[in-house]
Amino acid sequence: MSEGKPLVEDENTTLDKIIKYFPRFAIPIGILMLLAYFGNFNDGFGNQSDFGAFGDFFGGILNPMLTFFTILLLLRQLKYQRSELHATVKELQNTAKIHKESIDHSRAVDIFDKTRDEFVQELSDFHISLEEKFLLLAPDGNITEGGYSASDPYGEKTIALSLKNIDEHLELVTTITLYSEHSEKFYSCVTRALQHSVSKANNVLIYAYEYQRLGVNRLLYLGPLKGLVRSCQKLEGTIYSFDIESEVQPIQSRLLSIMEACSKIIQRAEKPQT
């Protein structure tokens, strides 16, 4: 049977002890009554009236004792039935719990199968957003939004910046852009790029949160989520490197919130099961 209260009560209970030792008292009392009778009636069972009187006496003593013993057995049986009922209820509860867990697991697997492509696409979109060229930086500091232009007069000397490679050009960007008349345009381009990437990161977070809530196998989303956190940390480092916290403060706050939420999901997923 299931864990919990045993089917049969512990034999050391008061009731069981009384039942166990009752015959040790009842039998000697019966023997003493017989000895008392035969001691007073040396001619055997005596006459009919004497024997009848003894029968009344014997029955008056033993009947209450037997009735008491019967009640004890009845109580014992009731305890047994109650214990058996408790065990049955416990077993049904465990079965229902296992059944519910099985249903929840099947539902989680089904939901992940249906949304896996969307989850993978959001991850892909996030990483693509980091590689997208959001501006062209000419040697004279001039800025052009978007990718390469066929009419670019500087050709290979023009640097195409993305959130992924912008750190590689930290000194150049700081020198000819942040402290020039082009700084405002630069901030505008960086802000839009960050906003786009953070929005994609948040979409990934939503999927991971739902997967954990529904009980999806952590191996299916934990690795990608850790990669997302690392990329977000790099984005945060980029913001600090260019000293543009004040220009992108709302975006930075949202980025930090996403990183914190992802870290909590990872911690819960890696927490040993008890």
Domain boundaries, the chain: 14-104, 132-270
pTM of the model: 0.61
Residue 119 confidence (pLDDT): 92
Q: Which of 28-32, 85-89, 190-194, 232-236 has the lowest mean pLDDT?
A: 28-32
> Mean per-residue pLDDT for 26-42?
67
C-alpha closest to that of 256 among 194, 163, 213, 189: 194
The reported pLDDT for the residue numbered 126 is 95
State yes or no: pLDDT of 8 exceeds 70.
no
Is pLDDT at 128 greater than 70 in this prediction?
yes
pLDDT at res. 40? 64
Q: Given this model, what pLDDT does residue 139 score?
A: 74
Most confidently modeled range among 38-42, 56-60, 94-98: 94-98
Question: Which of 56-70, 103-117, 194-208 is the most confident on average?
Answer: 194-208
Structure-block tokens of residue 80: 């047994």
